[in-house]
Amino acid sequence: MSTPLKIAITGVSGRMGRMLVETIDASEKAVVAAAVDRDGHAWIGRDLGLALGGAARDVFVTSDIDAAIADADAVIDFTAPAATIAFAAAAARAGVVHVIGTTGMTAEEIGQLAGPAEQTVIVRAGNMSLGVNLLVQLTKKVAASLDEDYDIEVIEAHHNQKVDAPSGTALMLGEAAAAGRGVSLEAVADRGRDGITGVRKRGDIGFVAVRGGDIIGEHDVMFAATGERITLRHVASDRSVFARGALKAALWAQDRPPGAYDMLDVLGLNAD
């Protein structure tokens, strides 16, 4: 690409927003062209560079998504479900690529992205890292190879500020395990245990969520049978892995036809 990709960042004051700015600044392939945050936030109207504690950069934080993306090539969005749906509609109006890393979206909310995806490219993933997407593929293959004698548990850990559980990544892994077994995750998911629950139901896929400290992201998929356990594991030690993946997705999406894509498409892993 001869000229850098112009990217708008939503939720720019948050952890991922700041990391995206840092990651894009380090890239020769893209620039931060616009910065968006919620209406009423203290950063609204401020120069982004000064708000971040650095030098002025002539990019001013706004709550007006339409104005922010008017001259952008892509918007990268790690916010909240309701905001993401609104941003998707704006991206569709502008014909701008929308990269979504927002987690905690319900099936109904994800369904609301179908309309915008008819007008522009949407790349959505519960996790943007290469390692996690490889783990998804491995989980599907192992689940397909082992019968229900092997109980499946998805165990995830995140920082104490995370508001959704199980994590989007844990659900991706659960979906992969269910697909490997040829079943619907909704039919076999066990997402909560408390009190006298009775014995574990054969064929269920269990979820355990840990919240504490500043854990960035740890995911294990355990296949447990009598006499042995197989555990697939991914640990994120730096949020930059998610930001780099999102930037890769924004670059990949240019000149693609409108539609809904995920990181397996971006990484060329969606063979089936």
| CA terminus-to-terminus distance, the chain | 29
Domains, the chain, ranges and CATH?
5-124+239-266 (3.40.50.720), 130-236 (3.30.360.10)
Contact criterion met (CB below 8 Å) for 249 and 263 = yes
Beta-carbon contacts of 91 under 8 Å, excluding residues fewer than 6 positions away, are: 69, 75, 97, 98, 116, 120, 122
pLDDT band with cut points at 50, 70 and 90 for residue 272: low
Q: Is 219 a catalytic residue?
A: no
- Residue of 98, 140, 158, 234 marked catalytic: 158
162 is catalytic: yes
Q: Which one is catalytic: 6, 29, 41, 162? A: 162
Question: Residues 73-132: pLDDT tens digits?
Answer: 999 999 999 999 999 999 999 999 999 999 889 999 999 999 999 999 999 998 899 899
Q: What angle do CA 21, 22, 24 make, to 5 degrees?
A: 65
* Residue 271 pLDDT grade (very low, low, confident, very high; cuts 50, 70, 90): low
Q: Can you count the helices (H) and strands (E) in the chain?
A: 11, 12
Condensed to tens digits (0 to 9), the pLDDT of residues 35-81 reads 999 999 999 999 999 999 999 999 999 999 999 999 999 999 999 99
* Model confidence, pTM: 0.82
pLDDT digits (tens, 9 = 90+) for 157-215: 999 999 999 998 999 999 999 999 999 999 999 998 899 999 999 999 999 999 999 99
Question: pLDDT above 70 covers what percent of the chain?
Answer: 99
